[in-house]
Amino acid sequence: MPSALPVESIKLLSGQHHKPSIIRFQYGTAGFRTTASILDSVLFRVGIVAALRSKKLDGRTIGVMVTASHNPEPDNGVKLVDPRGEMLEASWEVHATTIANASTADDLVDALEVLVQTAKIDLHAPFWPSLVAALEDGFKAMGATARNAGVTTTPILHYLVRSINTKGTKYSYGEDTEAGYFAKLSTSYKKLVTGKAVQPPLVIDCANGVGALAAKTLNESLGNTLELVLENASTTTPGALNNACGADFVKVSQKIPPSLANVLQPGQRACSLDGDADRLIYYYLDDRGAFHMLDGDKIAALVAAFIIELVKVAGLEEKIKVGVVQTAYANGASTKYLQERLPVKCVSTGVKHLHHAAERYNVGVYFEANGHGTVLFSQPTVDILAEYQPSTPAQSRAVEHLVSLTELINQTVGDALSDMLLVEVVLTHKSYRGEEWDSLYVDLPNRLAKCSVPDRNAFKTEDAERRLVSPPGLQARIDELVLRYQGGRSFVRPSGTEDVVRVYAEASLKSQADELAMRVAGLVYDEAGGDPTSRPKEFL
């Protein structure tokens, strides 16, 4: 039986996008990630997969994001966004990986046929006219039309996808334009801070990424309700993206970007976005000029406590249950603080795991320590808020605030700008400065390290990635090391975005956390049989 796929068109255009013979691609937590120079064939094939995904879902819009994210400029990646603005369905990740690694045009067609048959895709179904993507040849091969969202942030793309797919329905998410996105955020922010003292200007490190463009527009939309001071906003300077700046730099190095050394004043709060503006890290300098970081854990604690307070004041604590989702990277002190106040769930690293777990609560708060996160309000919860009849002015105000929060928060994915406004709302209501926020709990000193190994897939984990099951015996050696340090905790896991193995360690003293991380990393290098000369000096 002849294939319903446009085989000749696929083969013809595939010939213009050859797959490198010695490279194996893998669709992970953040899609396909590797050096930009070898991604050409992947982008073409992702275009085809996106077209087929749209076919499978009756022509609904699928998003495609091309971004370096938090990585250096030469690195890059591409990921798919499902109709509700969420990550690609997990079962399709396997197909995307197989399709990306097909060696020849014939192999590619065979892999696509398997996907079509397995997913039971009707290839004769019409395409929705506003399919979002930028991978023109992939769509051209399938005869699909596309809407190019242009240069924008990853969260805005997620917002657009959901808005397009809910347009004209009871659950319309918003106007399907960038203007609609900024109007939604600024309008809800203004409602939430009405009558409150205006916060001092906020310094934003834009990582020299696309977030600088979005932050500039947001600044204009906010008017005099909040002044944003934009730094590291050079979006056209070669090599500047995430270079000694951005959320990942601040989180890993635990210091302010050098470019802010003469900008940030003691007591002034600041935050860093990453390259595509889906991560957010806050920080401040105390009166002695010492650096204090307020990461995703601190954001989760601040936000969750505020929402719980509003729910209680509204008299809805019996109907609306709030929960927090963390990963193994969450600081042990944050987990303890949160567990004393509400349910806390630990899941494997990756937005898809956090997002799905958060959906099980009426209000699910999830933040990775790296600053990626959001808050999800279930549809029944939104309906409860819409139908509830408050009996006091205080209850009425609390309900109004909760409704406005559902508008302020980008519930499709972690959004640095949306999360930033959420933090500013809480700080405004609580009259907190950085010091008061930071004092909610004291972080245990911690250290992140990464190890280049011959095969990251040799490292397999269980218990939400907190324990190794492979290589055999390595976890026992890690456990033995951890016992030597007061407050010690450490885990090892293969990266979902880079070809490395990551090490996390914490202890009661910073020097001990550093030492524990380095010694565990040394165990990883020894076990992996990597080149000893490639080990960083501090591992020797």
The answer on whether 502 is annotated among ligand-binding residues is yes
HEC secondary structure over 106-169: HHHHHHHHHHHHHHCCCCCCCCCCCCECCCHHHHHHHCCCCECCCCCCHHHHHHHHHHHHHCCC
Residue 155 annotated as lining a ligand binding site: no
CA dihedral of 508, 514, 516, 521, whole degrees rounded to 10: 150
266 is in an annotated binding site: no
* Strand duo 363-367 + 322-326: pairing: parallel
Q: What single-letter DSSP state applies at residue 19?
A: P
Q: Is 276 annotated as a binding residue?
A: yes
Determine if residue 59 is labeled as part of a ligand binding site. Answer: no
* C-beta separation of 369 from 296 below 8 A: yes
How is the beta sheet containing 446-451 ordered, strand by strand? 446-451, 501-506, 489-494
Pairing outcome for strands 446-451 and 501-506: antiparallel
CA dist 141 and 119 (Å) reads 20
Q: Is 493 annotated as ligand-binding? A: yes
Residues known to be catalytic: 69
User: How many Cβ atoms are within 10 Å of 346's Cβ, its own excluded?
Assistant: 18
For residue 533, say whether it is annotated as part of any ligand binding site. Answer: no
Judge whether 496 is annotated as a binding position: yes
368 marked as binding residue: yes
Which amino acid makes up residue 394? A
Q: Are residues 7 and 107 in contact, defined by beta-carbon separation less than 8 angstroms? A: no
- Confirm whether residue 335 is marked as ligand binding: no
Q: Using the 8-state DSSP alphabet, how is residue 444 labeled? A: P
Is 410 among the annotated ligand-binding positions?
no
Quick check: 57 and 128 in contact, CB under 8 A?
Answer: no
Q: Any binding-site annotation on 278?
A: yes
- Cα 193–Cα 184–Cα 419 angle in degrees, nearest 5: 65
Helix extents (H) in 207-349: 211-222, 246-253, 296-314, 332-339
Q: Do β-strands 75-81 and 32-35 pair in parallel, antiparallel, or remain unpaired?
A: antiparallel
User: Is the distance from CB of 244 to CB of 257 less than 8 angstroms?
Assistant: yes
Helix axes 416-430, 393-408, angle to 10 degrees: 160
Per the annotation, binding residues are 69, 274, 276, 278, 368-370, 493-497, 502
Per the annotation, binding residues for Mg(2+) are 69, 274, 276, 278
Per the annotation, binding residues for substrate are 368-370, 493-497, 502
